[in-house]
């Protein structure tokens, strides 16, 4: 019974998060975000060589993230296609949600690996700025918070 409650809570959490994502996506459909690489180039004052290396690393990172996101979306579609099905077993629910959890773990590891690689490309001053940017991005959104901190001059 405890396992079913945990899975039900996880399922509700995932549904709420998807709803929030959809709301944020459609809230301002014409507003196009600035590419993160432009922000990073500007804030870290990358050299031409660093920019070229970053573009390579960034392209690979985005490929991996798209693959993870695609697989996650397929699993979520499979999960919710069984909504209300009497043939869908708790064991199948456990298996799918467990695989979604593993993909989430892969996603977080990939993000960490990307920033770790980025940090190794930086000189001492750029590393300091990057740490400030990452700390700002990790803050929870809210009034006056969220997103990267303003440029330090």
pLDDT in tens, 82-98: 888 878 788 888 899 99
For the ranges 18-22, 94-98, 101-105, 135-139, the one whose mean pLDDT is highest: 101-105
What gap in Å lies between CA 87 and CA 97, rounded to an integer?
17
Task: Count how many residues are written for the chain.
Answer: 153
Q: What is the chain's mean pLDDT, rounded?
A: 83
- List CB contacts of 34: < 8 A, sequence separation 6 or more: none
What is residue 65's predicted lDDT score, i.e. its pLDDT? 95
pLDDT in tens, 55-91: 999 999 999 999 999 999 999 998 888 888 878 788 8
How many C-beta neighbours within 10 Å does residue 44 have? 22
What is residue 80's predicted lDDT score, i.e. its pLDDT? 87
User: Which residues share a beta bridge with 145?
Assistant: 142
pLDDT in tens, 102-119: 999 999 999 999 999 999
Inter-residue contact 147 to 137 (CB < 8 Å): yes
What is residue 153's predicted lDDT score, i.e. its pLDDT? 47
């Amino acid at each position: 019974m405890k396992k079913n409650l945990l899975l039900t809570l996880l399922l509700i959490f995932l549904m709420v998060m998807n709803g929030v994502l959809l709301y944020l996506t459609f809230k301002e459909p014409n507003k196009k975000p600035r590419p993160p690489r432009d922000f990073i180039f500007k804030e870290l004052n990358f050299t031409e060589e660093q920019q070229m290396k970053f573009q390579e690393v960034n392209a690979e990172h985005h490929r991996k993230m798209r693959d993870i996101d695609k697989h996650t979306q397929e699993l979520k579609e499979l999960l919710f296609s069984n909504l209300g099905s009497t043939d869908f077993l708790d064991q199948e629910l456990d298996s799918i949600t467990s695989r979604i959890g593993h993909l989430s773990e892969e996603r977080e590891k990939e993000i960490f690996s990307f920033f770790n690689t980025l940090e190794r490309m930086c000189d001492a001053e750029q590393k300091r700025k990057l740490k400030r940017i990452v700390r700002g991005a990790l803050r929870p959104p809210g009034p006056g918070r969220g997103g990267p901190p303003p440029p330090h001059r």
